[in-house]
Structure 1
Amino acid sequence: MSTDKYHFTNQFSFKNIETIRDEGVALLDIFEENEDKVYGIDFLPKAMMNAYIYDSYFNVYYRSKQKEAIAAHKVYEERFLKVILTIMGYSHDTYVESDALLKKHGTDIMAIPADAMGNVHLAKPRKNWRYFYRRFRNEKPEKQIDLLSLFQQAFRDYTDVVIYLCDLQIILFFSDLYVVCLIENEESREFLEHICTTEGLYLRS
């Protein structure tokens, strides 16, 4: 019996969200069908029209391998990381999706525990007594998610990440220094905007 990995999406009320289970339907298709609820987190207040200025001073691409661009990218990356981790900290029903999870965990979607660190961590897990107990019994420790590393890979354009904040009615999709947001209600939008503003970023429609 197969398990519906998108079982949690029935908590969202976005138009045609249930079709995400169908083969060939991408999440961005759902975003397009709910265009009036789509926002973007950016380090610019709006798209720049002057391509020369943008490419010369603001197009900071990590994989360009240019020392100055990488340094500037890391400054912005830290702001994006703080926004993502902060909004996640206010959700008690969160799922993370990424192809990068498949190799180590055998699934591309994992739930993030809210009441304890459990098997999912925001940083490299410490070796606690359970670790050494398993080593003593020759048991293989469970592989744990390093969310910080996963998010950094996405912001550096090596993978895509989707975060489903079910109770906040927010879905985040990001790759490189831009986050596409699908937000159901005004309360969540205002809250996310406040977090972005605090970190020097913009939530724009």
Structure 2
Amino acid sequence: MSTDKHHFIEQFSFQNIATIRDEGVALLDIFEENEDKVYGIDFLPKAMMNAYIYDSYFNVYYRSKQKEDIAAHKVYEERFLKVILTIMGYSHDTYVESDALLKKHGTDIVAIPADAMGTVHLAKPRKNWRYFHRRTRNEKPEKQIDLLPLFQQAFRDYTYVAIYLCDLQIILFFSDLYVVCLIENEESREFLEHICKTEGLYLRS
């Protein structure tokens, strides 16, 4: 008997969010149907109209393989990583989805535990980023999900990541240095905006 991997989606109240369970319905389709609740995290306050200036100085693309672009990309990437991990740290009901998870974990959606008994810890020898363990009754706790390289792959346009923060009523989606956000309430929007400002990023509609 198959299980519903999107069972947690019932906690959200976005229009037609339940249809994400249907085959062929993409998460970004739901974003389009809730356009008034969609925001973007960017390193620019608004879309830049001067294409020459943007392409010459701001269009940083990791896969261009140019040293200058990679160096600039990593500077912005670190800011985005801090924002994503910070907002995740305030959620007690979080799910991460990515096709990159299938190979190592056999599923493209995993729940991120939030208990205080050692299953979430800081990995100081590796740049102080968070590491998470999945634990079930029949699984050894050594099986580890390392979110940092997963998120880096997405920011570098190698995969996608969707993050469902159920208790905060926020859904995040990214596959490059721009995070699309679906936010249900003003309190969560203001909180995420404050985190973005702290890291020198913008949350804009």
TM-score greater than 0.5 by the shorter chain? yes
Deviation larger for 118-127 or 99-108: 118-127
| TM-fit CA distance, 1:203 | 0.2
Q: Aligned partners of 1:77 and 1:128: how far apart in 2?
A: 15
Percent identity for Structure 1 against Structure 2? 93
**Contact 2:160 2:175 (8 Å CA) reproduced:** yes
User: 1:136-157: CA deviations, max 9, x gaps?
Assistant: 9999874311101100111011
Deviation at 1:116, TM superposition (A): 3.9
Q: Distance in 1 between matches of 2:196 and 2:170?
A: 14
Bigger Cα displacement from structure 2, 117-126 vs 5-14: 117-126
2:101 maps to 1:101? yes
Structure 1 pair 122/151, CA: closer, same or farther in 2 (3 Å)?
Answer: farther
Counterpart contact for 1:122–1:148, Cα < 8 Å: no
CA spacing shift, 1:163–1:54, aligned 2, 3 Å: same
Instruction: Check 1:150–1:118 CA distance in 2 against 1; reply closer, same or farther (3 A cut).
Output: farther
Alignment partners' CA distance in 1, 2:38 and 2:197: 18
For residues 91 and 104 of structure 2, the distance between their equivalents in structure 1, rounded to whole angstroms, comes to: 25
Structure 1 residues without counterparts, runs of 5 or longer = none
Contact 2:122 2:128 in 1 (8 A): no
Q: Is the 8 A contact 1:123 1:146 kept in 2?
A: no
Decide whether the 8 Å contact of 1:39 with 1:181 is kept in 2: yes
> 1:8 maps to which residue?
8
In 2, are the aligned partners of 1:104 and 1:143 still within 8 Å (CA)?
no
Change beyond 3 A, Cα 1:135–1:78: closer
1:117 aligned partner: 117
Gaps of at least 5 residues in structure 2 are: none
Q: Does the CA contact (< 8 Å) of 1:121 and 1:144 recur in 2?
A: no
Q: Larger deviation: 163-172 or 115-124?
A: 115-124
Q: Judge conservation of contact 2:86–2:195 (CA < 8 Å) in 1.
A: yes
**Distance of 1:188 and 1:100 partners within structure 2:** 28
Per mean C-alpha deviation after superposition, the further-off stretch among 115-124 and 195-204 is 115-124
1:5 deviates by 0.2
> What SS is found at the alignment partner of 2:130?
helix
Using the size of structure 2 for normalisation, the TM-score is: 0.90
Shift of 1:134: 16
Structure 2 counterpart SS, 1:103: helix
Hey, what's the Cα distance between the residues in 2 that align with 1:129 and 1:59? 27
Is the contact made by 1:121 and 1:146 (CA closer than 8 Å) also made in structure 2? Answer: no
Query: Distance between the aligned counterparts of 2:62 and 2:121, measured in 1?
Result: 25
Seen in structure 2, the aligned counterparts of structure 1 residues 167 and 128 have a Cα distance that, compared at 3 Å, is closer
TM-align CA RMSD:
4.6
Does the C-alpha gap of structure 1 residues 121 and 154 become closer, same or farther in structure 2, counting only changes over 3 Å? farther
Count of aligned residue pairs for this structure pair: 205
Encode CA deviations 1:62-104: one digit per residue, 9 max, x unaligned. 0000000100000000000000000000000000000000000
What is the match of residue 33 of structure 1?
A: 33
Kindly state the Cα deviation for residue 119 of structure 1 after the two structures are TM-superposed. 6.1
Taking a change above 3 Å as real, the CA distance of residues 159 and 124 of structure 1, as seen in their structure-2 partners, is: farther
TM-score normalised by length of structure 1: 0.90
Are the counterparts in 2 of residues 159 and 175 from structure 1 also a CA contact under 8 Å?
yes
CA contact (8 A) 1:120 1:146 kept: no
